[in-house]
Structure 1
Amino acid sequence: METTICPWCQTEIVWDEEIGPEEECPHCHNELKGYRTLNVTLSDNEEELDKELEQESYSSEGSWMEEEESSPRNQGLTSLPSLGGQDTDLLAYESAIGKILETQDQMPECPHCRGYMIFTGQNSVGVGGYQPVIPAGLKHSLLEAPIRMNVYVCPSCFHVSSFLTDEDRIRFAGQVQKAGQINED
């Protein structure tokens, strides 16, 4: 048996003498026989070449930065409005957001810009504001009023999301489990 080392993933490939050598690496699926080496010959004037490479790297970085700035993740807050006649500092704002996020146990991701959201409080919905629905095949609703929700705000795009509190999540899970047991009977 002969061994070959894949030039792409550096994996040792053992092949049977009866079957012959592999044409494709079984690990990375790259072509083994078509491995090609690129030889670059430098001209006498290496300084010009270095300058050209430097300019290319700057231009490629610029396009990368433009892509990064136009991504959905960064389409949020770019400047703060002045409050009460005072200009607000975006850097100070971001620093304060970071300090607040450090103290949070949970940091849900914003569904719009994928930034971390800040817990701003709880919202209670009483009997008059929440109308439960009884799903088909069940005799009771899965969540009864009053319910409490944790409210989160995205500091970048100001999207607001709310989630059930831990107690109401447990209550909801219990109701779903009870509904599943009723349907099994």
Structure 2
Amino acid sequence: MNDATPLPAAPASPNAAAKLGLWVLMAVITVLFLQFIQAYAVRQGSPDWLRPPEPTLLRWNTLALLLASAALQSAVMLPRGKTALLLGGVFGCIFLAGQLGAWQQLHAQGYLVAGNPANSFFYLLTGMHGVHVLGGLLTWGWLLARARRGLDVALEARLCARYWHFLLLIWLLLYAVLFWIAPATLQAICGSR
């Protein structure tokens, strides 16, 4: 008997679904930040644009985020490395606290949110990134609780580390846009000239 009925598809593994979900989330976040950067580049050409000074604390914050990413990668490579997992979150918290400190530094110098469009974009871009770091910290906390109960968290640790690497890349891009890339160069890259 020649039955042409197709066999039912095998269900997708939860691992594949989780990995795909993370990739989709990171794609959406990437588009969000690229749209903000595009708007930043367009608005940069305005006569009322006055870029705020770079708070020196941001360099230390960048180091903290780099160390968070490295610690979480170590937790993946050493599955029983709860210390590395713990350090990843601690450095993430240090990054967020440092970002608030940088905001306070700028505020004390008179660079208020409503002071000019460049200030507004600085607070918007760094604030949006901070919200995503906070989301990563919430996931990290859940992961740490599961690891402390002795549950297998290998997949979750890999996904968490991947998300933190992504947050580090987004931060480096934002840092470059805010302080390192010349306005004319950014406008040329974004096609806003």
TM-score by length of 1: 0.23
TM-score by length of 2: 0.22
Whose relative contact order is higher, 1 or 2, with alpha carbons under 8 Å and at least 6 apart?
2
Q: Counting helix residues as a fraction of each chain, which structure ranks higher?
A: 2
Q: Counting strand residues as a fraction of each chain, which structure ranks higher?
A: 1
